[in-house]
């Protein structure tokens, strides 16, 4: 298993500097991570730094609350794609999901899907720590109906990040039809393996270098 190819090397802190974003891109190229995941402002810089490397540019949208107007999420997505984004990680409207307005939630995701047509990869962040199991299942079903490619556990700004139980539930719900991305709180190779074993086929990690170095030592 090439653990690096599961990893979206993630740097979405509000105090992100140009130098640190470039550092994350350099690390992604060095270690062969699947993508660098960054805030929209840094989309063009990431795309430029990663050009020709095979590492994708992933951009978060409606981040981190999901409470932006759909038209704003769509415009943010269009600009990210124009700047070179290969993948979009959007936050669903969590409040409207919990309000039971499922049609709106689907339309919100569809609006972003239209702004990022395939082959752009669209992931929908559920913020699982705020949802009941029933809401998690419904959120996954809505994301699939709306044309998403992945469902994702967390933004990294919630009370907690990915859990094995949430990944298992999400994988059970979407089967092999969608990808499942486990994000936040994955700090070790052991934790990364547990998420993959639970059904994740992508990992959002800040501690990516530590994880791959631990993986290399485990093979020695």
Contacts of 148 (CB under 8 A, 6+ apart): 109, 113, 122, 123, 124, 178
Query: Cα separation of 139 and 145, whole Å?
Result: 10
- Radius of gyration (C-alpha) of the chain in whole angstroms: 16
Q: List the Cα angle 65/172/102 in 5-degree steps.
A: 40
| Backbone phi, psi, residue 40, to 5° | -55, -35
Query: Cα separation of 121 and 141, whole Å?
Result: 17
Query: Cα separation of 89 and 179, whole Å?
Result: 12
Q: Cite the active site residues.
A: 89, 152, 181
């Amino acid at each position: 298993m090439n653990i690096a190819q599961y990893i979206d090397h993630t740097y979405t802190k509000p105090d992100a500097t140009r130098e640190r974003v470039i550092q994350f891109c350099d690390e992604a190229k060095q270690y062969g991570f699947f993508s660098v995941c960054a805030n929209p402002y840094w989309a063009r810089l990431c795309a430029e730094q990663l050009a020709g490397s095979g590492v994708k540019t992933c951009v978060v949208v409606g981040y981190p609350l999901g409470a932006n107007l759909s038209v704003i999420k769509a415009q943010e997505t269009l600009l990210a794609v124009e700047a070179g984004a290969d993948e979009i990680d959007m936050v669903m409207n969590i409040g409207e999901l919990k309000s039971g307005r499922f049609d709106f939630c689907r339309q919100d995701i569809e609006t972003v899907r239209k702004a990022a047509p395939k082959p752009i990869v669209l992931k929908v962040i559920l913020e699982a720590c705020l949802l009941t199991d029933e809401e998690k299942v419904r959120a996954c079903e809505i994301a699939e109906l709306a044309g998403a490619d992945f469902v994702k556990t967390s933004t990294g700004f919630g009370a907690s990040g990915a859990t094995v139980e949430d990944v298992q539930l999400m994988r059970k719900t979407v089967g092999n039809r969608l990808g499942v991305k486990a994000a936040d709180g994955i700090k070790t190779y052991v934790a990364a393996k547990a998420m993959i074993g639970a059904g994740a086929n992508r990992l959002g990690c800040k501690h990516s270098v530590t994880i791959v170095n631990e993986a290399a030592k485990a093979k020695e």
